[in-house]
Structure 1
Amino acid sequence: MTMFSLRIPCLTLVLALWASLGSSGAQFHPQVPAQYLPLPSLRQRASIQDDWTADRIANIPFLLHKYRAQAWLLVQREHAEDTIWWSVKNSTDFDAHRRTILLFHGNQSSLNGAPNPLKWIDNTGQVWPELLSTLSKLNPERIILNVDENIAFAGGLHVGEFEVLQRELGQQWMQRTINEPMLAIEFVATKLPRQFVYYHQMQEMVWAMLEEGFSHRAVQPGITNTQDLTWWFREKMQVLNVTTWNQPRISVVTEDTYPGWQGSEGIIQEGDILHIDFGITAMHLNTDTQHLAYVLRTSGEDAETDAPESLKEGLRKSNRMQDIVLDNMKPGLTGNTVLRRSLDQMEAEGIEGQIYCHPIGDWGHDAGTVMGFVNLPEYVPVLGELPILPKTYYSIELYAYHFVPERNVTLRFLQEENVAWSEELQGWKFVYGRQEKFHLVDSRRSIITFSDQTNL
């Protein structure tokens, strides 16, 4: 057994620890510091990912039957891939080659045990008579094409390829094509149980980065600025052999701090509240996390050993909002229904804030329904009307308003944690934990300079 395998928590242990994170009202902040447990080597990851992909593809005939179709046709060109390509490709494929055609089917017997999907790579046009011959053998009544105008995961067929299909397939087969976005959505959204052990490991890695980055080891008040800290996180990802799907966004929290794609710029000072929004990418999985830190005042009568109680109360409000959302997130309900019920419950409890949760997994913003957008706080057309699916991951993203008397200002307490569906418990659980207390930057502790830290 390799050193690596000894350090990876077994699936049974991870699931047992995960199950201990009970339903709303429990304490979810991890009691011990997070660790940097290395992910497998790139070569090992490739083998693991291909195994996952094969099992996910094996479920496509079931999905075809569920959505009353007999075939799913993907046609794409190199550098103009269908969105679905990134969830069905081999781990060592970095783009489609030439014209790549995939035909998923639900009638194995008619093709004498041919693989599923059937795959052609062609730049001569020879593929079209072979595809027509295959369709004649399958004789599908309904062929799904990814032509949806609203759902990216079901709308990846480029217009040029669609025109070629119309010409080459002709009316006989084109009149049997349909738009059925839920097949692509469910395929991408559904996660395998054994993916969880690595997703849990990635989440612990995120927490370890947060605990280190939001501390004296990376922040020197009066010297370090928010952009220094942003690039500290980027450099740390390189060391850990992971990447990201968005630039880390770090802000000093003020009454103007608002969720979005920009952080702030400026020197970090004692007494500041810090916020980060970032995610990491590895093994074709993505995380998305928002945490808060407090920079302790260290001198004179104002010296502190913890964040002020008024800030803790704001964090508790956003924690309560997380509970409310998870209690209302029932599979089968639409995202808009969950959003409406959650907002009504918040109002009944006297909590003001905003909810904007999204699926996560293959992509940072993954396939499935959403519960609010920042600019659509009460109802989201199309995406919000999709049903919540089990066997998925979600980012519980939101903020609570809270008045901080000593600052005479109302602040947004922004939080985001990832949850996963548990078949055993028939409910949602935090993948690693959730923030229930501030990360603390204490400059009285020994200092590692920014330049030294980025080289660790």
Structure 2
Amino acid sequence: MIHVLRARTAWLLAMAAWLPVTFSLAQPADQGRVIEIEPTVLAERDRIEPENRMVADRLEHLLPGLMAETGIDMWLVINREYAEDPVYFTLVPQPSFAARRTTMLVFDLQDDGSVDRLSVNRYPLGEPYQVGWSGGDLEAQWQALGTLIAERDPERIGINVSSTWPEADGLTHGLHQKLMAALPEALHDRVVSAEDLVVRWMETRSEMEQAVYPHVVSIARRAIEEAFSSRTITPGVTTTDDVAWAIRDWFESRGLRIWFMPYVNIQRPGQDCEADTPFCGVSGVIQPGDVLHTDVGICYLKLCTDTQEMGYVLKMGESEVPEALVEALAEGNRWQDLLTDEFVTGRTGNEILMAAQASMANEPWGFNIYTHPIGFVGHAPGPTIGMWDLPAEVANTGDWPLYPNTAYAIEGNVAVPLAEWNGQHVQIKLEQSAIFDGERVIYLAGRQTEWHVVR
């Protein structure tokens, strides 16, 4: 069921003016698949104000606590035009098309727990940043940065360098050299990696973002509802590529950015699909009796989605999806439940994976788990929970712990044998975006519990 946003605070009431339809996070876990009303998509110009409001809110209410938590007294984000730091656009107001020339952001944690937000740029950014320096040439800019840092005398200076997290490795070698040359030598041993801060900043969803995110996910789900229907598919004529491009066109006609090309595939009797096959499915012309699968991802209001759902094309004389397939989808939902039951604050991604695999060991189906964080980017930093093409435990990123107020693409598959297909497996491949609130995994816009049907 689609719910009107119920604002709990004044700022949520204000948000309702530009976000008229969304989902309540109090929704049942088994909310059905149908998105009957097409969710509102704002024009590009109208997205700027809410995006900037959410950025300012994050800087004011999230960043101070995260800097204290990770032991960073001053955080530097330094980048150049055409070589922007991956975290840069999550920190600056829109419309920002690039880090003009060399852009320097300085975040200085104060004794009272607040953070001074300073720009050291030729072109000031404006709110929510104060001007630490502006104008002049590049040499003067670096000198100003070194002087500012020395005057504030931080104990731990965080820079974005990391051998594990690409999102936290945005400081280029050349800029690193320039920074160290600009810093007084006495401060060199205070420079540390800010990777923990970057990951926590990227993975944590604010209260405002949690209000918006269900709406964003519902847009992606609505596109699949449209694609896996007779409005898009003519059996015997339409190809999987036709459907993939129809999904892409649907998004682009609404000014929505995809972060990967939509993917559509077919399963049918006679194909090679075993319990341990990583992925089952082929491309081609869609026929009656085919099982369909798609994978789509968009980003809107700075939040990304990653969604996989299943469809069925009715045969002549059929009015409903065969019961065996209905039961197979239910097993896919059971797989989701067994996985998310293992989400416990403080557990690492690898610990969640091992616990989930143990809970599924005696199920009558094969399975594969490859769940990942999601947020400002589709494959976001945070605890990796399995990968389809790597050993069971994932080094480094799989060792990151689970924190509250983080979002995940609950992704994987089950392979269920069908007597109607002479024992051949059908692979139920599901992926739904969800939030972990510290105690529960809540699907942001419901999850698929019924088949999409092409009639």
TM-score bin, normalised by smaller chain:
0.7 to 0.9
Give me the identity figure in percent.
28
SS in 2 for 1:406: helix
Residue number in structure 2 paired with 1:439? 452
Conserved? CA contact 1:255–1:411, under 8 Å: no
Residue number in structure 1 paired with 2:153? 139
2:290 counterpart of 1:272: yes
One of 190, 214, 220 as aligned partner of 2:234:
220
2:453 counterpart of 1:427: no
SS in 2 for 1:337: helix
What value does the CA root-mean-square deviation take over the aligned residues? 2.5
Are residues 104 and 7 of structure 1, via their aligned partners in 2, closer, same or farther at CA, if it must alter by over 3 Å? closer
* Aligned amino acid, residue 396 of structure 1: I
Give the C-alpha shift of residue 331 in structure 1: 1.8
2:416, 2:395 → 1: CA distance? 29
SS in 2 for 1:294: strand
Write the mapping of 1:308-319 to structure 2, written as runs, cut at 5 A: 308-319=322-333
1:193, 1:428 → 2: CA distance? 16
1:327, 1:114 → 2: CA distance? 37
SS in 2 for 1:116: strand
Conserved? CA contact 1:38–1:240, under 8 Å: no
* Aligned amino acid, residue 382 of structure 2: G
Are residues 6 and 94 of structure 1, via their aligned partners in 2, closer, same or farther at CA, if it must alter by over 3 Å? closer
2:73, 2:17 → 1: CA distance? 42
SS in 1 for 2:258: coil
Q: Which moved more, 1:238-247 or 1:48-57?
A: 238-247
Give the C-alpha shift of residue 312 in structure 1: 2.1
Deviations 1:404-436 (A, max 9, x none): 22223123211000111346xx31111111111
1:141, 1:8 → 2: CA distance? 46
1:115, 1:385 → 2: CA distance? 32
2:26 counterpart of 1:19: yes
Residue number in structure 1 paired with 2:133? none
2:420 counterpart of 1:413: no
Deviations 1:238-261 (A, max 9, x none): 22231211100001125459768x
Residue number in structure 1 paired with 2:68? 65
Residue number in structure 2 paired with 1:448? none
2:87 counterpart of 1:80: no
Are residues 7 and 331 of structure 1, via their aligned partners in 2, closer, same or farther at CA, if it must alter by over 3 Å? closer
2:208, 2:77 → 1: CA distance? 27
Q: Which moved more, 1:207-216 or 1:289-298?
A: 207-216
Deviations 1:289-308 (A, max 9, x none): 0011111101xxxx211222
2:114 counterpart of 1:101: no
Using the size of structure 1 for normalisation, the TM-score is 0.86
2:19, 2:180 → 1: CA distance? 54
Conserved? CA contact 2:63–2:201, under 8 Å: yes
Are residues 259 and 218 of structure 1, via their aligned partners in 2, closer, same or farther at CA, if it must alter by over 3 Å? farther
Residue number in structure 1 paired with 2:176? 162
Number of aligned pairs?
422
2:42 counterpart of 1:35: no
* Aligned amino acid, residue 110 of structure 2: N
Conserved? CA contact 1:35–1:205, under 8 Å: no
Conserved? CA contact 1:399–1:415, under 8 Å: yes
Deviations 1:149-180 (A, max 9, x none): 11112111111111222222253222111124
Residue number in structure 2 paired with 1:345? 359
Give the C-alpha shift of residue 95 in structure 1: 1.1
SS in 2 for 1:8: coil
2:194, 2:344 → 1: CA distance? 23
Give the C-alpha shift of residue 39 in structure 1: 2.5
Are residues 397 and 377 of structure 1, via their aligned partners in 2, closer, same or farther at CA, if it must alter by over 3 Å? farther
Conserved? CA contact 1:218–1:229, under 8 Å: yes
2:18, 2:191 → 1: CA distance? 50
Conserved? CA contact 1:227–1:250, under 8 Å: yes
SS in 1 for 2:232: coil
Give the C-alpha shift of residue 265 in structure 1: 3.2
1:259, 1:366 → 2: CA distance? 22
Write the mapping of 1:374-393 to structure 2, written as runs, cut at 5 A: 374-393=388-407
* Aligned amino acid, residue 427 of structure 2: R
Q: Which moved more, 1:391-400 or 1:310-319?
A: 310-319
Runs of 5+ in structure 1 lacking a partner?
443-456
Q: Which moved more, 1:232-241 or 1:286-295?
A: 232-241
Write the mapping of 1:285-364 to structure 2, written as runs, cut at 5 A: 285-298=303-316, 303-364=317-378
Conserved? CA contact 2:165–2:195, under 8 Å: yes
Residue number in structure 2 paired with 1:8? 20
2:437, 2:26 → 1: CA distance? 8
Give the C-alpha shift of residue 41 in structure 1: 3.0
2:281, 2:251 → 1: CA distance? 18
Write the mapping of 1:142-153 to structure 2, written as runs, cut at 5 A: 142-153=156-167
Using the size of structure 2 for normalisation, the TM-score is 0.87
1:41, 1:6 → 2: CA distance? 11
1:188, 1:80 → 2: CA distance? 19
* Aligned amino acid, residue 87 of structure 1: T
Deviations 1:377-399 (A, max 9, x none): 51000000001121111100010
1:312, 1:255 → 2: CA distance? 21
SS in 2 for 1:149: coil
2:36, 2:184 → 1: CA distance? 58
Conserved? CA contact 1:9–1:197, under 8 Å: no
1:28, 1:128 → 2: CA distance? 54
* Aligned amino acid, residue 67 of structure 1: T
Q: Which moved more, 1:390-399 or 1:249-258?
A: 249-258
Give the C-alpha shift of residue 108 in structure 1: 7.2
